[in-house]
A and B are shown apart, each in its own frame.
Chain A
Amino acid sequence: MAYRSALSVLLAILAVLLVADPAPAQTPKRGGVIRIAEREAPGLDPHLTISFLTHSYMSLAYSQLVRFPNGPEQKSPTDFTIVPDLAEKWTVSKDGKVYTFSLRKGVRFHNKPPVNGREVTADDVKYSLERFMAKSGFRERFEPVQAIDAVDRHTVRITLKEAYAPFLNHLASPSFCAILPREAEDKFKDFNHPDAVIGTGPFVLKSYDKGVKMVFERNPDYFMKGFPYLDGVTVEITPDAAARLAVLRAGKAELPHVWGWISPEEARSLKQTTPDMVVTPYRVIGQGFIYMRTDQPPFNDVRVRRAVSLAIDRKGWNDALLFGEGCVDAGPIPCALTDWKLDAAKLEPAKAKALLGHDPAEAKRLLAEAGYPKGFTMPIYHWPGYVVPWRSYYELAAEDLGKIGITVELKPEEYGKYISTTALGKYDKAAMGPSTPFTEVDDFLFGRFYPELATNQSRVADAELTKMLVAQRREMDPKKRKQIVDDIQRYLADKAYYVYVPQWPQYVAHPPYVKGFRHHDGYGLGMRLIYTWLDK
């Protein structure tokens, strides 16, 4: 008996040892420069472009009022809890219309002329947010904002026309609301000039040799004491994807992409050729779909749209192209947006089938019922240049639809044409492509389905749905909002306004000596790099 209990104690100890983290948390080392191989950003002014590269690079230098959690603060890569940045605390009025932010005191801009390290005040916040509302391509997101007031030196009040639940998420996004100093714009006309890049962020832009590299150094006065660990960040401009991976393998860069991203194929190849490289899969926000002119025949008939959806062999695509690692339940809210996603398993099975089922016979029956027993011909407009596996996706869609009698004419378009017409809902019959990975659920719902918006690519106009779309963005109680969002997902399941295709995981690669670099889906780069350190 004594023997048995001793054994069980021993087993218990062994189990604890096995479960425990094999490498105890190391103390971060200070110093070193992280090198990133990435393409050039089209500009540096965060309000004058919607490029994620501009926003990511500039997030090294600028701060926002509030931000998303990063590094050890985050529970998952899609943790969009709001944490303080320049604002140390804030209150929201009961009706959800008045936000009052208290700024941290003594936060200084980078010590560069003409700003010369002066303190950030409420006026800077007012100036920056108003500039965002006047100039940014994303300014629609602040449409409900009525007034921004500097109450005193360290207090900002934002008044909305109506309650607007997505507001804090937008304020926290590095894509939108960088806080900029007015003097720099006065001197340089905009924030595109490298000398005009003066923020309060963890890194200071030291030099920018166009086409070659951007050099950032640690901000010695950064308001989060002790951070960042790194001495600096260098972006080595590397336009070619094969070259980016080659410099990672050759030890000439720590990140082969601004966020370290590589494709599933590249991840496999990298693991094989360079086994010591750290390669981590993440489920990230992403979505792709076939979109259709639901305001015109034949796609104004829900039976035709359901037939299109039932024709797509999502599991087959996932197995063939994504090594079975993708998520087939990719719409209308992306798989990775776990706080909002209503899994297909929680839907009525009949409705869920229209969302992600595969049944060509049923699809044919629906087409015949809708008056197309012999099928029809449809174009699929697309841009062939999107990352792997998009090119295969277009072909598989054509093949699957061909099996139910729909003849697809693949219509490749030049990027400029695609992005300025097709992607804005100006196309004939049908098109296909990926969605921008937004951080706020509202963008996937209101943005995709509200009538008359350019991002409503299927031109949906559904009165019952529209009511719910507006209701969710006005509901300030997260639990109640979640219920409305669930209702919307239940409602949308069998409408097939968009036909969703599987979403692949994203791999992040870096050498083993890069520590504390955790992926977060909230764009930006600065905050994830403040917790990053080099064990060399």
Chain B
Amino acid sequence: MKQYLLRRLALAIPTLFLVSVLVFALMRLMPGDVATRMVEGHTYAPTLAALRHDLGLDRPVHAQYLDWIGGIVTRGDFGRSYWTRQPILDEFVRRFPVTLELAFLTIVVSVVLGVLVGIVSAVRQDSVSDYVGRILAILALSVPYFGLAVLVVVLPSIWFKWTSVWSYVPFTTDPLENLKIMLVPAFVFGVTRAGPVMRIMRSALLDVLRQDYIRTAWSKGLAERPIILRHALKNAMIPVISLIGLQMPLYIGGSVIIESIFRLPGVGLFFFEALTRLDYPVVQSVNLIIAALVVGLNLLIDLSYAFLDPRIRY
């Protein structure tokens, strides 16, 4: 187990290195020039050349890369935004809890809905409730979450002069108010993510229900409920957990639009605005931090398999 963990951590290093090189290169391949835009809009320097020098953009590309990555590795310094001159890590730390909470609640909603409907569908295979469940899953899969979010915000404002958009309040300031604000966006996002969870849950459970040990449980005369919930469900959860791990980047990516519509001050908007302003260090650092989080989370998920299925050994 310990060896496995060390091996996985060692493997994370080349992964993150590749991410850092890719995002660094992609930013510079994007059309447009950040210095021209800044001189046009902001004048931190008298001329374009002075601004380039100031931002370090006149240095060779590999030196720029080493500056950036070196700062992170040696000092934990993720750099400063070109535009606001504020430390990126500060802004990220300030905003990340919002996105994290949104992602967490979204996962809760999608898992609760997906797993429940998936169980019913699998256990009552080919019944009316199975068909209804499957239709709902396909519907959830095919409705784009941004479209649903706009409808959820706009329609009640037209019909009832009410809308589920509030001024954001942190959980630490007022937990109830915070949950009131976060629940609707999490529900909108979660419902559309529940589709794949339900589909995977259903097929995994169907597969497990046909296995020998379940047949044994039936023949022992156990009741349906303990067979499904205690014996089958735990094993069937493995692909569901994997799916959540795979969807992690989507929760962060999708948060851009959800945060924008429900005016939540999360990382998504910070990242998106940096991207439109060609704010290289912000895009690079935020991308790298999120990549590190996704790698770490997937490691946790892999480790959780051993808990779910004792046959798995590391």
Contact = CB atoms under 8 A, between A and B. Distances in A.
Interface of A: 42-43, 47-51, 134-137, 139, 192, 209-213, 236-240, 242-243, 245-247, 249-252, 273-274, 413-421, 424
10 contacts: A139-B43, A211-B265, A211-B266, A242-B261, A243-B263, A245-B157, A415-B32, A419-B32, A419-B40, A424-B40
Given A243-B153, A251-B161, A236 B36 contact: no
A247 B265 contact: no
B154 interface: yes
Contacts of A251: 161
A236 B41 contact: no
A43 B42 contact: yes
B277 interface: yes
Contacts of B40: 50, 137, 419-420, 424
B262 A414 contact: no
Contacts of A273: 158
Contacts of B266: 211
Q: Which 8 A-B pairs have the closest CB atoms?
A: A211-B265, A416-B32, A417-B32, A420-B36, A417-B31, A246-B157, A249-B157, A250-B163
B162 interface: yes
Contact of A137 (B39, B158, B277): B39
A243 B44 contact: no
Given A42-B83, A139-B43, A424-B40, A416 B153 contact: no
B248 interface: no
A212 B262 CA distance: 11
Given A50-B41, A414-B30, A420-B36, A250 B161 contact: yes
B182 interface: no
Contact of B42 (A137, A240, A420): A137
A250 B162 contact: yes
B84 interface: yes
B276 interface: yes
Contact of A419 (B37, B161, B168, B259): B37
A418 B32 CA distance: 7
A239 B37 contact: no
A424 B211 CA distance: 68
Given A137-B43, A249-B161, A419-B40, A43 B84 contact: yes
A247 B157 contact: yes
Given A42-B84, A250-B161, A274-B158, 8 more contacts: A42-B41, A236-B167, A240-B261, A243-B163, A249-B158, A416-B37, A416-B277, A420-B36
A209 B95 CA distance: 11
B103 interface: no
A515 B166 CA distance: 25
B263 A236 contact: yes
Contacts of B153: 240, 242-243, 246
Nearest to B84: A43
Interface residues of B, number: 44
Interface in B242-297: 259-263, 265-266, 269-270, 276-278
A52 to B, nearest CB: 11
A147 B247 CA distance: 62
A251 to B, nearest CB: 6
B31 A210 contact: no
B212 interface: no
B265 A242 contact: no
B165 interface: yes
Interface string B75-111: 0000000011100000000110000000000000000
A210 B161 CA distance: 27
B167 A416 contact: no
A236 B264 CA distance: 11
Interface in B30-52: 30-34, 36-37, 39-44, 46
Given A250-B157, A421-B36, A135 B163 contact: no
A236 B36 CA distance: 31
A274 B156 CA distance: 12
A239 B269 contact: yes
Contacts of A252: 163, 165-166
A251 B83 CA distance: 35
A256 to B, nearest CB: 11
Contacts of B277: 42, 416
Contacts of B94: 210
B41 to A, nearest CB: 5
A251 B33 CA distance: 42
Contacts of B46: 134
B33 A420 contact: yes
Given A43-B84, A49-B41, A419-B40, A239 B31 contact: no
B158 A415 contact: no
B273 to A, nearest CB: 8
A246 B263 contact: no
B265 A137 contact: no
B13 interface: no
Which of A49, A135, A246, A419 has the largest count of B CB atoms less than 10 A from its CB? A246
Contacts of B262: 243
Contacts of A246: 153-154, 157, 163, 165
A49 B168 CA distance: 27
Contacts of A137: 39-43
Contacts of B30: 414, 416
B34 A416 contact: yes
B150 interface: yes
B258 to A, nearest CB: 10
Given A51-B41, A242-B154, A420-B40, A249 B261 contact: no
A48 B31 contact: no
A423 B263 CA distance: 31
Contacts of B85: 192
B95 A211 contact: yes
Nearest to A251: B161
B163 to A, nearest CB: 4
A251 B32 CA distance: 41
A377 to B, nearest CB: 22
A242 B39 contact: no
Nearest to A51: B41
Nearest to A420: B36
Which of B36, B165, B259 has the largest count of A CB atoms less than 10 A from its CB? B165
A212 B31 contact: no
B185 to A, nearest CB: 11
A515 B89 CA distance: 44
A420 B37 contact: yes
A335 B303 CA distance: 68
A232 to B, nearest CB: 14
Contacts of A136: 43
A245 B83 CA distance: 29
Contacts of B154: 242, 245-246
A252 B262 CA distance: 13
A379 B263 CA distance: 38
A12 B270 CA distance: 64
A415 B163 CA distance: 31
Given A239-B260, A416-B31, A247 B165 contact: yes
Nearest to A138: B43
Nearest to A418: B32
A240 B263 contact: yes
B84 A135 contact: no
A246 B34 CA distance: 34
Contacts of A236: 167, 263
A273 B44 CA distance: 47
A148 to B, nearest CB: 19
Contacts of A238: 165, 263
Interface in B141-189: 150, 153-154, 156-158, 161-163, 165-168
